[in-house]
Amino acid sequence: MEGPRSDEILVRMVASGICHTDISMIDTPDRTPLPIVLGHEGAGIVEEVGEAVIDLEPGDPVVLSYGYCGACSHCVQGSPYHCDNMHRLNFGGSRLDGTSPISQKGEAVHGMFFTQSSFATHAVAPARSAVKAPRDISLDLAAPLGCGVQTGAGTVLNIFQAPVGSSIAVFGSGSVGLSAIMAAKVAGCREIIAVDIFENRLELARELGATHGINPQRENPVDRIRDITGGGVDFAFDNTGNAKVIQDAFASLKMRGHCGLAAGFGVELKLNAFEILLGKKITGVIEGESIPRLFIPQMIELYRQGRFPFDRLITAYDFEDINGAIRASKKGDVVKPVLMF
């Protein structure tokens, strides 16, 4: 592996979460540059910094998050999650100039997945993607804050900015959905409705703050949500990426309600334009519109206060057992596998 360039750091990985996006890259090799090192919820210790890095030094514990260019109009306006180079930087398998710091026997290997490729003992990453972690939080706990947890919590707190007493339905109770449910409780939502086909996930959702659980294999979620809320929810959040579920999420909104989507690559939707005309809204929720250096410390503070127990989502695995961890995640046996190096 190459050393860091002037604006980069070399991180010795301590822990990395496995996110659904890693698994979907494995499952869709036609849209994945190969060979590649995946992984994008890395946390570790800085070992080296490039000469232009002024805010990190060797020995610092860091959580790595998504990449953004820092130079496009969206980045300079403070919306790095909508960076013009988002797709190339995070999914391209290289730096913007096409190079990768990783090679094997002289042959280049795609790296820089989400500007980190954290399924490796070491990662070269841009300093701007790293968030210094407080030393009282273990890195195995902090790792998933960089993608899945901030996507769920950020949707509620940054995008919806759910007011006290509002209502929300969360479709899909994986790590993203459960993080949204915990954040909805933090926000003071009155009705927090979890929708999932797995009873054990609904049970966990209730323990983490859901006031209601709906299993769509047993009852119609849209009818039930309208019953519970007297007409529809203020906010609906889909993190399944399934067209039927997204359509249900949209249908469960009351007028002026906002539906957020965290997944849906290549999915075609059938929506009633008249409902949009009447004020319903549907938007994507990239990374929960989180600015990692601001939002990750906020989530850690909520955790310290006992109000955001995201440790309940995590199951630790040895890095060597990465395939077992992915299998367990796909089967729904674990919510958030975290690999330990």
For binding to Zn ion (CB under 5 A), which residues are involved? Answer: 19, 21, 68-69, 72, 75, 83, 147
Beta carbon of residue 252, minimum distance to Zn ion (angstroms, whole number): 25
**Least distance (Å) from Zn ion to the CB of residue 341?**
19
Contact 33, 340 (CB under 8 A): no
Beta-sheet strands, E only, within 109-241:
122-126, 130-132, 167-171, 191-195, 212-214, 233-238
Distance CA 28, CA 75 (A): 29
**What does the alpha-carbon distance between residue 183 and residue 151 come to, in Å, rounded to a whole number?**
11
Smallest gap from residue 67 Cβ to Zn ion (A): 9
> Among candidates 127, 122, 7, 116, which has minimal Cα distance to 56?
127
Q: Which residue has the tokens 């002037």?
A: 6
Identity of the residue, 39 or 209, whose beta carbon is nearer to Zn ion in the bound complex: 39
The SS3 assignment for 225 reads helix
Question: In whole angstroms, how close is the CB of 284 to Zn ion at the nearest point?
Answer: 14
User: Which is closer to Zn ion, CB of 75 or CB of 183?
Assistant: 75
CA distances for 209 relative to 26, 212, 254, angstroms: 33, 9, 22
Question: Which of 68, 295 has the CB closer to Zn ion?
Answer: 68
Q: Residue 21 or residue 329: which is nearer to Zn ion going by CB?
A: 21
Tokens 């199951």 identify what position?
315
- Length of the chain in residues, anyone? 341
Q: How far is the CB of 136 from Zn ion (least distance, A)?
A: 25
Query: Is 68 or 119 the residue whose CB approaches Zn ion more closely?
Result: 68
Peptide bond into 35 cis (omega under 30): yes
Min CB(112)–Zn ion separation in Å: 15
Q: Which is nearer to Zn ion, 166 or 329 (CB)?
A: 329
